[in-house]
Chain A
Amino acid sequence: MSILIDQSTKVLVQGITGRDGSFHTRQMLDYGTQVVGGVTPGKGGQVAHGVPVFNTVQEAVEATGANATVIYVPAKFASAAILEAAEAEIPLIVAITEGIPVLDMMKAYHMVRAKGLRLIGPNCPGLISPGKAKIGIMPGSIHRPGPVGVISRSGTLTYEIVHALTGLGIGQSTCVGIGGDPIVGSQFMDLLPLFEADPETQAMVVVGEIGGDEEERTAAFIKEHIRKPVFAFIVGHTAPEGKRMGHAGAIVSGNSGTAASKLQAFSLAGVPVANTIDELAEITRQGLSLLS
């Protein structure tokens, strides 16, 4: 088992003929993902990487039966792409695009929610169920199938953590990069219950960063609702106040959003927080060995 995606997921690529969309369509196909079609307005009728290209998401869904879509279109057009996918009622929408204005995302978020659909991202690496399918831009080779669910606000940091887990022989059920923007479609609290209900997942790793109060609220949520062990890692201890650390959402303002506050919240909720990536992999290994 895994969450959200597996080998049966039929994936559409919005922006399939663009540089990034094209490159990652190839990568996803090579990993075994069922990419069933692409969308680029004006290029309907063409074929890319052996899959048909459509002018609209609606046409693509009708022709292919796609039940997931991944968006690689530029920031200016990305929220419109999310809305188009939502109009076509695609249950899982993954937005990789970075730099979408927050007001656009607010509208897109509420539209997706109102329709009962799920959005992952934007500004995220996507998600992968190792050995089954990947939707996004992460390198597939570092992952191994296994018992740990990973949820993270970062991209390359997640690869680093997965690499460390795999290095200790710990595989992953599903890894989800939720994105580094102030408004993202799915948060830790939306995904943890899915891992909690997934029989294959035995423990979860949560990777947070400075900015906002999501980690603090997640800590309280875990204490209340999650029984499987959760291990956490927080980055941004050295970040100064008022400076955006790359991600639009990663900014400390005043006393809010600091790494120290997030660390404390997790600790109070009984969630062990690692100081380093190696330590995170190690405490996860120890946690799993206690279960068996």
Chain B
Amino acid sequence: MKIHEYQAKALFREAGIPVPEGKVATSPEEARSIAEAFGTVVAVKAQVHTGGRGKAGGVKIAKTPDEAARHAGNILGMEIKGSTVRKVLVERGSDIAREAYLAITMDRSSKAILLIASAAGGIDIEEVAAKTPEKILKLTTTTGTFSEAELAPVAQALFDDPGAAAQIVEITGKLLGLYLKADASLAEINPLVLTGSGNVVALDGKVTVDDNALFRQPALEALRDFDEEVPQEIEAREKGLSFVQLDGDIGCMVNGAGLAMATMDMIQIYGGKPANFLDVGGSSNPEKVVAAFKIILSNPSIKAVLINIFGGITRCDDIARGILESFQRISIAVPVVVRLTGTNADEGLALLKGSSLIPASTFAEAVVKVIEASGGVVREEMKS
């Protein structure tokens, strides 16, 4: 789960990591009065979950309260990569002498907590890593601590300044503490700045929380911003479904994440465009099928739906009951292609006999039928 910069910085502040003084505004007037109270240069920063805010014009410096209000007016309501800006963070400006990068994340290959630091801060770290990997410093821990001896050279390398290095060692320890306490999958400071007066400050902050740990992080779960999520994705989560919206026109209902991805891929390979990823999960609860139908059909682009089930724990007859119930309870105006295989498939198919559903016996046949039913054209080379 992603949280906003202002929320991440509140966590930083609580952990003792220095951040600029700032407040959230939802209107130009509010931004003006925050800037007035600071009485100095301020930064006005869009609060959205996507990256690339700066490039999109979502981060501006204001010398006067009027300018802060004007920037806030421009930034609020702005669309950045599909997210609408609803809040801006108005922060006391910092006197930046140097910028660096500091982050903690999980390294899948070494199965360890990874500290990433670079003197090349403030820009796209992936690009730095790709072009000049020698500029990226890394430390790993599986015990949840770094020794001062390990940290010292890394801290020194960032600004090449002993005073700053001591502060960085302390900040790193606190960032790691926060990472562990918050069950974070990412805690990032980019840029970490050295000010003209020699202070090290987290000028930006990003914290992502491990979805699997939210059950024990109620305070963080409360930071979830529903405005940043597709409504269907929120509804799916509440119903225990896994759903991701895409931009095609063929709805998919599948059991299992891997098979759901394979189904999307197959639709594309055969010349169609999948409208969503949807995993109904391992249970056979007919209610889940009804909920899945509602979510899929709430997308106006949908021209046909493919239900692809490989019964293991999931019983195909239960899925069939859910499909029939869906047809009774909601209006389904688009063609639905069904392919049931595995546990109780014959029973499931028998239940669906006589309905308006289009049956398919193999994965490939189902994909061909759903593309044709959607009015699309099956790629010539796949017709064999």
Contacts and interface: CB of A to CB of B under 8 A. Distances in A.
Most chain A CB inside 10 Å of its own CB: which residue of B212, B258, B314: B258
B265 A236 contact: yes
Interface string A192-215: 000000000000000101101110
B256 A157 contact: yes
A103 to B, nearest CB: 6
Contact of A102 (B210, B260, B264, B267): B210
B269 interface: yes
A139 B257 contact: no
A239 interface: yes
B205 interface: no
A75 B212 contact: yes
Nearest to B312: A139
Interface in B229-277: 242, 244, 246, 254-262, 264-269, 274, 277
A17 to B, nearest CB: 18
Interface stretch (B16-24, B107-115, B194-202, B298-306): B107-115
Contact of B274 (A20, A99, A238, A254): A238
B312 A138 contact: yes
Contacts, number: 161
A98 B257 CA distance: 12
A217 B242 contact: no
B342 interface: yes
A195 to B, nearest CB: 20
Contact of A237 (B126, B257, B268): B268
B106 A238 contact: no
Contacts of B74: none
B185 interface: yes
Contact of A209 (B212, B261, B312, B314): B261
A138 B244 CA distance: 26
Contacts of A254: 126
Contacts of B113: 106
Contacts of A217: 109
Q: Which of B212, B215, B216, B310 has the most CB of A within 10 A?
A: B212
A212 B106 CA distance: 11
B211 interface: yes
B215 to A, nearest CB: 7
Given A159-B342, A235-B265, A101 B260 contact: no
B295 to A, nearest CB: 15
Nearest to B261: A235
A250 B266 CA distance: 18
Which of A183, A238, A240 counts the most B-chain CB atoms under 10 A from its CB? Answer: A238
Contact of B258 (A20, A154, A212): A154
A31 to B, nearest CB: 13
Contacts of A100: 212
Interface residues of A, number: 60
B142 interface: yes
B341 interface: yes
Contacts of A149: none
B256 A103 contact: no
B312 A155 contact: yes
B341 to A, nearest CB: 7
A206 B212 CA distance: 26
Nearest to B141: A106
Report the contact-size class of chain B (Cβ under 8 Å from the partner): 35 or more
B258 A103 contact: no
A153 interface: yes
Nearest to B277: A245
Contact of B311 (A125, A139, A245): A139
Contacts of A244: 211, 242, 244
Interface in A149-197: 152-160, 163, 180, 182-183
Interface in A219-253: 235-240, 243-250
Contact of B277 (A109, A239, A256, A277): A239
Q: Which of A152, A210, A245 has the most CB of B within 10 A?
A: A245
B253 to A, nearest CB: 13
B244 A155 contact: no
Given A138-B312, A139-B343, A154 B111 contact: no
A76 B215 contact: yes
A240 B212 contact: no
Contacts of A247: 257-258
A276 B266 contact: yes
A182 B108 contact: yes
Nearest to A211: B108
B327 interface: no
A238 B272 CA distance: 11
Contacts of A75: 212, 215
A246 B313 contact: no
Which 10 A-B residue pairings sit nearest by Cβ, starting from the closest? A154-B258, A246-B257, A156-B256, A157-B258, A101-B213, A235-B261, A156-B259, A246-B242, A238-B264, A212-B108
21 contacts: A75-B215, A101-B216, A106-B112, A107-B142, A139-B312, A155-B258, A155-B282, A156-B312, A156-B314, A157-B258, A157-B261, A159-B312, A180-B258, A212-B108, A217-B109, A237-B265, A238-B246, A240-B246, A246-B279, A255-B130, A275-B269
Interface of A: 20, 23, 75-76, 99-103, 106-107, 109-110, 125, 137-139, 142, 152-160, 163, 180, 182-183, 207, 209-210, 212-214, 217, 235-240, 243-250, 254-256, 259, 275-278
Given A137-B312, A159-B342, 15 more contacts: A20-B313, A101-B210, A102-B185, A106-B142, A107-B142, A109-B111, A155-B256, A156-B255, A156-B259, A160-B310, A163-B310, A183-B108, A237-B264, A245-B257, A246-B260
